[in-house]
Amino acid sequence: MSNLAQMSMAALIWTFGATAIAGDFDGSRPLVCAPVEAMDCVSGEGCEKGIPEDVGAPAFMRIDFARRVIIGPKRSSPLSAMEKDPHQILLQGTELGLAWSMAINTENGKMVTTFSSRDGAYVLFGSCTPL
């Protein structure tokens, strides 16, 4: 490879180095996820939009796929189920009387998490990044 080609490649890597690379969101590496938007939904009443703090969600949570656990600042939640396909990773569990599900886009790390009970649901939207 010529010096010009090497410098061009280095410039591209430097410019786009923060962009996710293949494998970052396939479950092979731990992730840290941050919910940024929340919905609080009650049957028959609709949903209210807010921030994750409004529904008691942590600002950050870590996902340790190897240990099959999600770790927050106050507690950890074991994964009851995990399923992967080329487009997403699906995680499920229960905590504090709620059933939860998380879907992580394997291309860009965007996530959607739901917590549900017999009375309603919380929906969180956010992003994950590899540790």
The domain limits of the chain are 20-130
Computed over every residue of the chain, the mean pLDDT equals 86
Residue 60: pLDDT band by 50, 70, 90 thresholds? very high
Q: What is the C-alpha separation between 26 and 115, in angstroms, rounded?
A: 23
Q: What is the C-alpha separation between 94 and 23, in angstroms, rounded?
A: 27
Percent of the chain with pLDDT over 70: 82
Residue 8: pLDDT band by 50, 70, 90 thresholds? very low
pTM (predicted TM-score): 0.79
Single-letter amino acid code for the residue at 110: K
**Above 60 in pLDDT, residue 107?**
yes
pLDDT tens-place string over residues 9-51 = 444 344 444 444 556 888 889 999 999 999 999 989 999 999 9
